[in-house]
Every structure is written in structure tokens, then in C-alpha cells.
Amino acid sequence: MEDDVGFKAAVDEAKKGAEEGGVPIGACLVSEQGKILGQGHNMRIQKGSATLHAEISALESAGRLPASAYHGATMYTTLSPCDMCTGACVMYKVKRVVIGENKTFVGGEDYLKSRGIQVVVLDNIECKGLMATFIKEKPQDWNEDIGEP
Ligand SMILES: [Zn+2]
């Protein structure tokens, strides 16, 4: 699954975020047929946004879609999704969420599973490395991203 186009796109997005000085988290929404519908990275710092986490950026980049487009879809994300992004995945009833890593942070994985959404955790070294570097350099920005003082 680390070779999936969606996962590769999510990691590329996370790297873009790191280059921009932002929170290095990327995401990509892929259709049931395997087509990339949208991709993006966390833009809180870059855009001064309260809501542009990676998964929300990916959903935004996919634009307005009929409900049926999400039902067989997979959300790839480099980090375990927070409550907000978990909620978006539940609301749109994506079929599966593939997570790069959940050592840095564990979000709403149990909630996803309780709503019948398949959860796969890859424990990817590159994803962990991006977060470790960012948190070491900017611990306050990381806490802000997950709503901690
Ligand atoms: Zn989030």
C-alpha cells in the first residue's frame, strides 16, 4: 500500500508542506476506480487557516462531488486524522482511510472503525521522520495544530 499512487501523492504533499515551513502532513483522496480526486497538505501556517488540515485540503481540492463519489473512496493521509478530519471522512462515508503513521499522534481511528470505515496504518518511516523534525523545530506550532495550549 506504500506503493499506491494515493499514498505517494500524500507523502509528496507532506514534503511540500515541510518545504513551505508548514506542518508536514499530506493527504490524497482516491476514487474507487483508483483515480486521484484531490490532494493537498496542511496549510494552517501558510494560509493562517483554522481548518486547512491536509485531509480538508484534499477534500477542497477535489471540490464539490456527488455523495456517491466518496463511498468507495480512500483517504490517504500521512498522519492519523484528528477529530475534525475524522468527522469529514465519516460525514462523506469514505470506504477506507490509509494512515502513514500513528506514533506521533492518534486521532479518531476508533470512531472511523465504529462507523464501518476500514482503517489501515502503514507505520511509514518517512512520515514519522517529517513529523519528528517538525515537532523538534516548532513544538508550539504542532500543539496549535492539534488544539493544545
Ligand atoms: Zn485534521
CATH of the domain at 128: 3.40.140.10
Ligand 1 centroid to Cα of residue 112, in Å, is: 13
Does the pTM of the predicted model rise above 0.95?
yes
Residue 20 domain flag: yes
Residue 116 domain flag: yes
Range of the domain at 126: 5-141
Ligand 1 centroid to Cα of residue 88, in Å, is: 9
Ligand 1 centroid to Cα of residue 75, in Å, is: 12
pLDDT digits (tens, 9 = 90+) for 53-88: 999 999 999 999 999 999 999 999 999 999 999 999
Indicate which residue of 20, 55, 109, 144 is catalytic: 55
pLDDT reported for residue 23: 98
Ligand 1 centroid to Cα of residue 83, in Å, is: 6
3-state helix/strand/coil string of the chain: CCCCHHHHHHHHHHHHHHHCCCCCCEEEEECCCCCEEEEEECCHHHHCCCCCCHHHHHHHHHCCCCHHHHHCCEEEEEECCCHHHHHHHHHCCCCEEEEEECCCCCCCHHHHHHCCCEEEECCCHHHHHHHHHHHHHCHHHHHHHCCCC
Residue 25 domain flag: yes
Residue 148 domain flag: no
pLDDT digits (tens, 9 = 90+) for 10-20: 999 999 999 99
pLDDT reported for residue 117: 98
Q: Is 32 a catalytic residue?
A: no
